[in-house]
Amino acid sequence: MLRLRSFLQQHCNDQDLVDVIDQLAVTCKDIAHQLTLGDLAGILGSAEQENVQGECQKKLDVIANDLLKQSLSQLPVVKGIASEEEPLPVACNQEGKYLVLFDPLDGSSNIDINVSVGTIFSILPAAADKSGDDESAYLQSGRNQLAAGYVLYGPSTIMVLTTGNGVYSFTLDTRQGEYLMTRDNIQVPADTKEFAINMSNQRFWLENMKNYVADLLSGETGPLGKRYNMRWVAAMVAEIHRILTRGGIFMYPWDNREPAKPGKLRLMYEANPMSMLMVQAGGKCSTAHEAIMDIQPEGIHQRVSVVMGSANEVDIVEKYHG
Ligand code: AHG
Ligand code: MN
Ligand code: MN
């Protein structure tokens, strides 16, 4: 089986980018190891502090963030990093040519219950005239991403990656400490009968989203003419992995719990990297009105409404939104 590093060396003509992806992979092995130890390593539970977005941090959010920050800042080619758990971007090496953005631990509410979580990352080019702690350097649309991916910590640890030329997955062989390629050219089926949305927010959605989900629930005798199944893991990384494996649609739409927020999920750390993967795999990603990767970001912690997955189903959601 092909090792991640060998694959990257063959597949990617930018060896500096290979180093960044390899460093991410190595650091995620550490995070996976901490997760495997769980309570034995004292890593479960709350960190008893809030991040910049007002969310209560778990110990592992902080640990994963620190591991990634430390290891990436050692690379001369990394100019700066931005993280869901850091209030501001962090400058690394002035000569660097990449900016690395990440959600160090996605699905935090799953940590303490021993259910899947992940790390999501996005790599952008760094402008020569902007420093690594300059927020404006990071405000690039998702179309600029050089690479994007995630590491899913489930029964297996799996890295799923794109450098703009297809989507590949690598399973960590813990016996030898190597990621080995287990799937290539991943494709998302265009049609699906499986949806993922947090139904408890139903009363807060816009009418258009309420109508679409009501029609999903009405099954084979309803206007969509199919019996749909539902899943909700509460970790985007696991939902997207399921969709990359067997199709589906994942939605975290705008809702009026906090009307000023344009959604729950973060454009730079969650929506854009997952969009690059999904589009590379033949799926679609939308806010319900426009392609996520067409958004010109205005802030690194910006939030966005997300609809992504099997292309024909995303088209249907867009039609319900006129
Ligand atoms: P994070 O743990 O990085 O804050 O992200 C959690 C996100 C996403 O992964 C998941 O789909 C969603 O929040 C779960 O939200 P609910 O609490 O509404 O289930
Ligand atoms: Mn997240
Ligand atoms: Mn997170």
- Quickly state the pLDDT bin for 53 (edges 50, 70, 90): confident
Nearest to 224 by CA among 194, 199, 196, 202: 194
pTM (two decimals): 0.98
How many other C-beta atoms are found inside a 10 Å radius of the C-beta of residue 185? Answer: 11
Ligand nearest to the CA of 233: 1
Nearest ligand 1 atom to the CA of 107 is 2
> Does the pLDDT at position 280 exceed 90?
yes
Pocket test for ligand 1, best of 252, 269, 307 (most atoms within 8 A of CB): 252
> Does the pLDDT at position 75 exceed 90?
yes
Nearest ligand 1 atom to the CA of 110 is 2
Question: What's the chain's Rg over C-alpha atoms?
Answer: 19
CATH class of 4-183: alpha beta
Q: From CA 81, how far away is CA 107, in angstroms rounded?
A: 21
- Quickly state the pLDDT bin for 83 (edges 50, 70, 90): very high
Nearest to 187 by CA among 282, 273, 309: 282
What residue ranges do the domains of the chain occupy? 4-183, 194-320
pLDDT, tens only, 21-38 = 999 999 999 999 999 999
How many other C-beta atoms are found inside a 10 Å radius of the C-beta of residue 39? Answer: 10
pLDDT, tens only, 138-185 = 999 999 999 999 999 999 999 999 999 999 999 999 999 999 999 999
Nearest to 272 by CA among 152, 137, 103: 103
Could you confirm whether domain 194-320 is CATH 3.10.129.10? no
Pocket test for ligand 1, best of 85, 108, 109, 116 (most atoms within 8 A of CB): 109
pLDDT, tens only, 232-264 = 999 999 999 999 999 999 999 999 999 999 999
* 57 Cα–ligand 2 center, Å: 12
